[in-house]
Amino acid sequence: MSDQPSSPPSAQKPALRSPGSSQSRFQVDPVADAPKTPPGSRSSAGEESKGRFRAVNFLNPSDAAPDAGVNGDTVRSEASLHSSTGGLSHFSDTHSSTYYLRTFGHNTIDAVPNIDFYRHTAAPLGEKLLRPSLSELHDELDKESFEEGYPYGEELTAAEIITAKEVSDSKAGSVKFGWVKGVLIRCMLNIWGVMLFIRMSWIVGQAGIALSCAIVLMAIVVTSITGLSTSAIATNGFVRGGGAYYLISRSLGPEFGGSIGLIFAFANAVAVAMYVVGFAETVVELLDVNALMTDEINDIRIVGTLTVILLLGISVAGMEWEAKAQIVLLVILVAAICNYFIGSFIPLKSKESQGFFGYNAAIMMENMGPDFRDDETFFSVFAIFFPAATGILAGANISGDLEDPQSAIPKGTLLAILITGVVYIAVAISNGSCIVRDATGDDNDTIVSSLENCTDAACTLGYDFSICKEGGCKYGLLNDFQVMSLVSGFGPLITAGIFSATLSSALASLVSAPKVFQALCKDKLYPGMHVFAKGYGKNKEPLRAYVLTFIIGLAFILIAELNIIAPIISNFFLASYALINFSVFHASLANSPGWRPSFKYYNKWVSLAGAVLCCVVMFVINWWAALLTNGIVLALYIYVSYKKPDVNWGSSTQALMYNQALTHSLHLTGVEDHIKNFRPQCLVMSGYPNSRPALLYLVHAFTKDVGLMVCGHNKCAFSISPSDMMNEQARYQRWLLKTRIKAFYTPVFADDLRQGAQYLLQTTGLGRLKPNTLVFGFKNNWRDGEMKDVETYINTIDAFDLQFGVVLLRLKEGLDVSHIQGGVSWPKWANGLSLFLSPADEKLLTASQQFQKKQSKGTIDVWWLFDDGGLTLLIPYLLTNKKKWRDCKIRVFIGGKINRIDHDRRSNRQIRLNELLKEHSSTANLIVITMPLARKGTVSSALYMTWLDTLTKDLPPILLVRGNHQSVLTFYS
């Protein structure tokens, strides 16, 4: 025993405080002071904080109190600890502090709660941040003495570890952004984008002020709900790179994430084309007609191609250059918006012929209602505007480059939605209040006669633009896409603003698409796409994904029609938003303990309403495009589901599946058994699942999608440690899933086979989901072993006392292949090993695979000799319902002379039955026969084993079946 002094009782009894709210979970109340610091012990806290536990919510670090001292070792929990950078804090090195070993009065390497235990940190020497394993707590102190308290080597101070972290970060040189530069600015630039200056006036001309505001508000509702949902997901854990794909995939799983991630990356790539075409449109309109290179459409294509090449160069140069460019563009954009509003209050006579008269009540009232032209409708106009709302995820899309995404994404996204929404509504009202829908641009179109034939608002202001009703006018809200330049105080600044809005949005999309695509490719959900996951430079830039995005964007730039490109991406973004909202609803509905976002301003029903609203808007905008989008999502979902990627992200789908399984299991328990619903639920004594493949595949053939199958394995208590057995259980369960065998693997410690089977028969299962049939293989080598083993085997068969049916499978070659395969994983090893096997083992291998293949045309011969309740007949019927056994017909044999078979005794009956089986069923694919029973105490184990051996000798695969004499078949519906 250690001679270290023990601490007083008060230091050993920390009291847990009942959580009064969601912010107080997992907290520890202060307790009495610990003993004074022993000489030589280090302490980074003041005397007043020694020996105290401070209330620290280590699962929500934003609520943690700074400098929470623990026995002289400072634990600092700050909001910065919640960042995705994995920043380190001062902590008490409980693994190596000699004073800590004394604190609780006995030698221990137990660790106090520490935030770093609950997150993956990229810190060097990360092993010092891990709590000791349970086995170390049990065994470590018995193995060696820690006189200096350094069980993991030389102790480092917290300052040394922080220094190491800073050095590591400085070497990496990665660029991280705050919420303003990384999210707010990026979202604002993307939301304002091309629509603000180029299409907002046209939208007001088509829909009028009222419906334009309704369009903006509808988009704000969709984006606000999605922003709240995004914030909830983003604050539920560390957010890495991948934006919307990462959020959806880690919430709903790889199936939804993989499908929507591909579409979202594609939509961002197409968005690049939309913004670049808007920029090129403005450039071409600024050119004089005589200055065109070819014609208007081809010039847009040329300018767009050159622009996207320039933007690609800026993006490839790195995130730092791109961020600096965004700031410059934002300054220009804000100046242009201010310039427009200033100009709207300065009407000039020279601008009136082009439709701008300044704020006027008559113009406002005339433009209040809609005037849809060229087959436009409310929702077709909404489809053109909605891509402006797609910028809300611009910040989340670079989540891997944010300093603290959990704080930055909610603040930046929601504030950006608010600011840009107010600006859009203000611009819509302003446009409709000071600009008429049509104008000729001719100063001579003033009214010189009576106003009888002129009723427009312009007439009251002295202009007659009625000729525009016949078409051909180039000015006004409906005709001039550059009308905001006309209104502004300084026209070239609006042009600069258009350039800024379009280029910044294009730049943001050109960065977002490769980041999302890189994250998708890293997860390897689709074959052949991992080549795009490679990153280059200090920020791991996805250069290959940049090139792919450039190619997609260039292809759509060649369309050169903004009103055609915009609706294409609307549905893709709406599908993404719908799934983000559904993710929050699904996670909240699953009620998983792992769903605990620190952002509380969300509601699962509001999120569901947002998801439904997105789907409705998709179909209203364009029903066939919505069907196409949903079809693509469904196809990708089915593909990923079929491939079953080897990932586990703790999705809400798993949590909801558990809830449903638990609920249904409980409901099923309250329902009495009925003969029509009977199904064989088998406990298969297979040992390791890959040791007896023939037994496994045959039972799986009649239990798949019908009944429960449990692979039981009896292990001697001294053969393996409990921890190793748990690891084996997980490994073989994965093996069953990989080989698509719907079964559970359950090992148990027992002295012999009978005891292990008894344990499993009594304890395996949950409620009604428990085995009712015991299945195992025939003991071919029963003559070679000790009689004790035969006795144990026969006693195992006798499971009828527990109301179990019994099934035995015999192959004349045998079942157990474990001695052949060794450490090679079945079934891929079979072909390669055949050259090195003995003839007997080669036959055994071939026989072990026969039930894995589709069965050739033949028969399943059922010898229903005794009425056992119908299990002997039910199993063959279930087999023939499966695809592999569908070509086999069932033949049923019964005893023709019952009195004769009753008078046949002892061993003669088995010999005669074997002769009949050879005579009638020697070519059958499978024989199913009722297992003979012997009265207890009248037949020895050796004699009974002889009966079974004689009955089944030299025959095709044969199943010995005996039900528990309760009916499993009925004639009634």
Give the integer Cα–Cα distance in Å for 248 and 251: 5
Burial class of residue 925 in the structure, from the number of CB atoms within 10 Å of its CB (0-12 exposed, 13-18 middle, 19+ buried):
buried
Position of tokens 């609006």?
494
pLDDT of residue 836: 64
pLDDT of residue 133: 66
Nearby residues of 541 by Cβ (< 8 Å), 6 or more positions away = 316, 318, 319, 535
pLDDT tens across 352-378, in order? 888 899 899 999 999 999 989 888 888
Residue 147 in this model has a pLDDT that exceeds 70: no
Tell me how far CA of residue 110 lies from CA of 6, 102, 130, 241, in angstroms.
15, 11, 11, 35
Question: Mean pLDDT score of the chain, rounded to an integer?
Answer: 77
Give the integer Cα–Cα distance in Å for 158 and 91: 6
Q: Which helix (H) or strand (E) holds 68?
A: strand 68-70
Sorting pLDDT into bands at 50, 70 and 90, what band is 429? Answer: very high
pLDDT tens across 794-848, in order? 888 778 878 888 999 999 888 888 877 553 444 444 444 455 677 888 888 888 8
What is the Cα 330 distance to its own chain's centre?
35
Please give the backbone phi and psi of residue 428, each rounded to the nearest 5 degrees, phi first.
Answer: -65, -45
Give the integer Cα–Cα distance in Å for 263 and 572: 6
Give the integer Cα–Cα distance in Å for 219 and 224: 8
CA atoms within 13 A on the CB side of 486: 28
Comparison of pLDDT for 141 and 280, the residue scoring more: 280
CA atoms within 13 A on the CB side of 903: 4
Residue 60 in this model has a pLDDT that exceeds 90: no
Residue 109 in this model has a pLDDT that exceeds 80: no
Omega before 722 cis (within 30°)?
no
Residue 851 in this model has a pLDDT that exceeds 60: yes
Determine how many CB atoms are found less than 10 A away from the CB of residue 935. Answer: 6
Sorting pLDDT into bands at 50, 70 and 90, what band is 441? Answer: confident
Residue 609 in this model has a pLDDT that exceeds 90: yes
Give the integer Cα–Cα distance in Å for 456 and 458: 5
For the chain, the residue count is 973
Share of the chain above pLDDT 70, in %: 77
Lowest mean pLDDT among 75-79, 443-447, 677-681: 75-79
User: Average pLDDT of 205-215?
Assistant: 94
Q: Indicate the residue type of 489.
A: G
Sorting pLDDT into bands at 50, 70 and 90, what band is 249? Answer: confident
Structure tokens at 148: 């200096």
Structure tokens at 292: 């065109």
Q: Are strands 709-715 and 744-749 parallel, antiparallel or unpaired?
A: parallel
Comparison of pLDDT for 138 and 256, the residue scoring more: 256
pTM (two decimals): 0.70
Residue 111 in this model has a pLDDT that exceeds 80: no
Residue 72 in this model has a pLDDT that exceeds 60: no
Residue 727 in this model has a pLDDT that exceeds 90: no
User: Average pLDDT of 720-729?
Assistant: 79
